Amino acid sequence: MSGRGQSNDGSVELGVLKYVHEHPSISTVRGNPSALVRTIEEYASTSRRHLMTVGPAKRDYIVSVLARAPPGPKVFLEFGAYVGYSAVSLGAALRELNQGYEVKYLTFEVNPMNAAITSSFVELAGLKNVIDVHVGPAAESVRRLFEEGNLTKQSVDFMLLDHWKNFYVADLQMCEELGLLRKGSIVLADNILIPGAPEYLAYIKQGRAEKSREGHRYEIHMENFLMSHGHTDQVAVATVV
């Protein structure tokens, strides 16, 4: 399963699609990931209902984590595309940080409408050669890609868990079992406090990747964020050792 959820009738998500494509500055957005991200943020700031993206503060932090990694080929798995805000942001950063190398950002989304919006934004941003959008439960998509040889052992450099919180542990353990992670791989998990992922937090804090045949362990860092509603949330950063 993947997906960050959706408004009851999908009007918020369809609203951002309409807002972006009908924007007076659409010509400057086309082929410009940063401009597209700003336009999505503009919609989020004016909408009366919440757009469930990672937002600029968390986005900038994740980009900083990417920037500290050594250069070279990169594979990034995102569990929960929603409307593509993080895929466009991070996919563009991945490409920029690794110029001259092939990079691939694979994002998984269970909601077909949200996946279609993500695909539209990926194309608009000029990132189709970087970002692949896969529709359906994340676990099914990952296993299929592995069986097809499009994901191989120790090939995943980064993961972002930002879908249904009760799938965090199961999807991470699936990646451990398939051997996709390597020493130095980084697993980021959003919304640790709000709405909360206590099962996942307990799992990574124990430090042991239970399904890893290589005996991998995790070193953990928690990053705090003050959200717009005044509450604190956390992003968990687990480095494979």
Q: Residues 6 or more apart from 179 whose CB is under 8 A from it?
A: 153, 154, 212, 213, 214
Residue 216 lies in a domain: no
For residue 52, give the nearest of 79, 76, 78, 81 by alpha carbon.
81
Residue 232 lies in a domain: no
Residue 135 lies in a domain: yes
Q: Looking at residue 4, what is its pLDDT?
A: 56
Q: Looking at residue 227, what is its pLDDT?
A: 79
Residue 155 lies in a domain: yes
Residue 212 lies in a domain: no
Q: Report the CATH number at residue 75.
A: 3.40.50.150
Q: Which domain holds residue 55?
A: 11-180
Number of domains in the chain: 1
Residue 157 lies in a domain: yes
Residue 101 lies in a domain: yes
Q: Looking at residue 7, what is its pLDDT?
A: 58
Q: Looking at residue 46, what is its pLDDT?
A: 85
pLDDT tens track, the chain, 241 positions: 445 555 567 899 999 999 999 999 999 999 999 999 999 999 998 877 678 899 999 999 999 999 998 777 799 999 999 999 999 999 999 999 998 889 999 999 999 999 999 999 999 999 999 999 999 999 999 999 999 999 999 999 999 999 999 999 999 999 999 999 999 999 999 999 999 999 999 999 999 999 999 999 999 999 999 877 778 999 999 999 9
Residue 81 lies in a domain: yes
| Residues 39 and 19 sit within 8 Å (Cβ to Cβ) | yes
